[in-house]
Structure 1
Amino acid sequence: MNAPVSFEALDAWLDANADALDVDQSRAPEILPQLVRSGAAAVGVPEALGGTGGTIADAIDTIAAVAQRSLTAAFVLWGHRTFIEYVLQSDNEALRARWLPPLLAGEIAGATGLSNAMKYLSDIEPLQMHAARKGNAFMLNGSLPWITNLRREGFIAAAAFDHNDGSPPSIFAIWHNVPGVERSDDLDLTGLRASNTAALRLTDTVLDDTYRLAANAPAWLARVRPAFLGLQCGMSIGLAQRALLATLDASKASRESIRAEIHELEAKLAEQTAQLKRGVLDDTFFNTPATMFELRIALVDTVTHAVSLEVQATGGRGYLRGQSGVARRVREASFIPIVTPSLVQLKTQLAQHRRIAAA
């Protein structure tokens, strides 16, 4: 990165609060200010645009570093930083000029909202949001059942809409303060409860082109999907790294029997991390999306194995409240396969790819 970023204070805060962020919804307002204050949200954003410089690979590393300490905070950072990436990759310069500064300052929370769109791009499900032309603007309707970082203090969320006139689907940035935008109560999650995760409904919401991130959703989504999934994979990498590091806290006797497995998995994770960053930077994942789907699936297996090794190494101590973070990491690891696109959805998509290739 071109500008130094220090996460020392953020690391200490996450270590002290990770368990509370996982189980207590009332702690949600605290996360984004901590992330922004540390500079985490600005990594990979050009200095000329107010960021700290670096690449999308540096942003992936940053999300991984946060995930080592709290998947809840990493989930929030993924949502916020991914929306920032959408703004960076949008052709709408007016939208970028208006919204990038408050996003980087943490004055408003960015929410991806494009899980439905990414599934649409992969022919997994239809779009759930609909747009109708209204003069020089659009009337928007529909609902999305699960979006993270819908901060009650203020948010802007991306969503994909089909059009009733037959034109290509497009992507709009939905500001919370626009009439017809309704945020639900927080979803009653098993963990990650301070992540401001809720449903979003639009009822006759009117927005003009100044809120449109992309006029041709399929083409634009294909371009941003590597960053979307790459940043998301940062959560898997960080959680697996922390689980493997935690095995070092176990007694030597506990570690010894699984030492070879630990070293083998460390090497595997390092190679997967390098492959992820190469693929995002050199357009491999843009040109061959199936390669990225396969890596995302492989990282789920790595996380599962890493947490299992931590459980084995920690033993009964990990089942005592307050003695270690192993119980929380087991819950966090159970979330990795279901975050959109889920493991089942990716496997379905890969099977379709293989059938087409065989035909």
Structure 2
Amino acid sequence: MGSVALNRHVIEDDLPSASIAEQVATIARKNLGPMAAAIDAGTVYPDELLHRLGDVGAWGSHVPKNGAADLRCAIHSISALGEVCGATAFMAWCQNTLVWYAANSNNPALIAKFGDKFATGQILGGTGLSNPMKSFFGIEKLKLKGRKVDGGYIVKGALPWVSNLGPGHFFGTIFEREDDGGQVMFLADCSDPAITLQPCKPFLAMDGTGTYGVQFREVFVPDDLILADPAGPFVKKIRAGFILLQVGMATGLIRDCIAIMNEVDPPLGHVNRYLPQQPVNFQELLAELEREAMALAADPYNEEDSYWRKVVALRLRAGEASVAAAHAAMLHCGARGYLMSHRAQRRLRESYFVAIVTPATKQLRKMLADM
């Protein structure tokens, strides 16, 4: 995959003195928009754009301060990117989640070494918690195993899909200790020669997201890369943030699907009015999702069971609403939306990703049933 360098001086001159989310929206419109098709096709991985977003604070707004954290700005920023490109919104979620892991770790050596570099976008990366999140709810077994050695652990195994990766990137994931079955969360360094990034077969969408299969061949993980040991209490602390940040992917996509429906109203409104789902319906739904997301995002460390249930239920609604909105946009566009050059079909493909990325629709429903 290639990468596109941004004209930073142009961006600097054009940026208003405004909030982080507004600056992100400006970059999304002016710089990400022209790249979206290439990212979707997998010919571009937008590393320079991701670094630039770090320059304006996109990755650091949710870092905890005085024991409290607020995810609202981060969700707004992801949503602004998602309005233009679902793949980039997903990469933004990956980066923000990596920051969330490091910022919540109790390992001072790890925080000192990586906290600011992740939060400013100097170092990019993602999250390898798809398999662990499934394992916590009895869907899969942990794919990585580790054994204790002097100064750290030796880890082996393979993860099928991890995103926002490349040379020098990091991601957080979990292995199972071979001796007692305990779980340890750590940072994996993609530059480690014992870690291999395997290109994946083409996806329906999201090919420009730096997604690879990752093989661990007796990888030494030093103590300063351990996020949490044991992992269980740590995951419980960060799980709401992990899920709530994904809502930005959904709201941005839904907003653009509404825009698509409105764009074709002048030529097609006389017949589109017979379709059961109209832009106003999704505008009302979007407003509901955003209100609930903002309320929950202001308190991500809430330990009440009722709060956790609301987070899971919101994420389920957001995924289902994404598919419904993209489906409606395609029907409103008709044949013109069926062209590969039209973004309506891209939004439909991206919407399925929102519905199946971990935690997927079926896992969310299982989680709610188990509660």
Both structures adopt the same fold (TM-score exceeding 0.5): yes
Normalization by structure 1: what TM-score?
A: 0.88
Identity across matched positions, percent: 25
1:209 correspondence with 2:223: yes
1:20 correspondence with 2:38: yes
Q: Is the 8 Å Cα contact of residues 185 and 227 (structure 2) preserved in structure 1?
A: yes
Residue 149 of structure 1 aligns with an amino acid whose one-letter code is: N
Aligned ranges 1:261-300 → 2 under 5 Å = 261-283=278-300, 286-288=303-305, 289-300=308-319
- Assess, with a 3 A threshold, how the Cα gap between structure 1 residues 30 and 283 changes in structure 2: closer, same or farther: closer
Q: Is the 8 Å Cα contact of residues 44 and 56 (structure 1) preserved in structure 2?
A: yes
The residue aligned with 2:137 is 122
The alignment partner of 1:314 has SS state of helix
Cα offset, 1:196, TM superposition: 0.2
1:352 correspondence with 2:370: yes
Distance in 2 separating the partners of 1:214 and 1:296: 25
The residue aligned with 1:230 is 244
Aligned ranges 1:320-339 → 2 under 5 Å = 320-322=339-341, 324-339=342-357
Distance in 2 separating the partners of 1:80 and 1:228: 11
- Assess, with a 3 A threshold, how the Cα gap between structure 1 residues 307 and 101 changes in structure 2: closer, same or farther: same
Q: Which of 113, 132, 135 is residue 147 of structure 2 equivalent to?
A: 132
Which is worse superposed, 142-151 or 307-316? 307-316
Normalization by structure 2: what TM-score?
A: 0.85
1:108 correspondence with 2:123: yes
The residue aligned with 1:357 is none
Which is worse superposed, 32-41 or 261-270? 32-41
- Assess, with a 3 A threshold, how the Cα gap between structure 1 residues 344 and 54 changes in structure 2: closer, same or farther: closer
Q: Is the 8 Å Cα contact of residues 35 and 77 (structure 1) preserved in structure 2?
A: no
Q: Deviations over 1:275-297 (max 9, x none)?
A: 12322333587433333222222
Q: Deviations over 1:302-338 (max 9, x none)?
A: 112211222232222222343x411111111121221
1:35 correspondence with 2:37: no
Q: Is the 8 Å Cα contact of residues 323 and 355 (structure 2) preserved in structure 1?
A: no
Distance in 2 separating the partners of 1:31 and 1:338: 26
The alignment partner of 1:42 has SS state of coil
Distance in 2 separating the partners of 1:309 and 1:218: 41
Which is worse superposed, 54-63 or 283-292? 283-292
Distance in 1 separating the partners of 2:147 and 2:69: 40
Q: Is the 8 Å Cα contact of residues 103 and 109 (structure 1) preserved in structure 2?
A: yes
- Assess, with a 3 A threshold, how the Cα gap between structure 1 residues 71 and 205 changes in structure 2: closer, same or farther: same
The residue aligned with 1:315 is 334
The alignment partner of 2:355 has SS state of coil
Q: Is the 8 Å Cα contact of residues 64 and 103 (structure 2) preserved in structure 1?
A: no
- The two structures, once aligned, show a CA RMSD in angstroms of 2.5
Q: Is the 8 Å Cα contact of residues 320 and 355 (structure 2) preserved in structure 1?
A: no
Task: Report the count of equivalent residues.
Answer: 346
Distance in 2 separating the partners of 1:283 and 1:111: 20
Residue 194 of structure 2 aligns with an amino acid whose one-letter code is: G
Q: Is the 8 Å Cα contact of residues 45 and 210 (structure 2) preserved in structure 1?
A: no
Which is worse superposed, 183-192 or 143-152? 183-192
The residue aligned with 2:213 is 199
The residue aligned with 2:263 is 249
Distance in 1 separating the partners of 2:74 and 2:63: 9
Q: Where does structure 1 lack aligned partners over 5 or more consecutive residues?
A: 354-359
The residue aligned with 1:356 is none
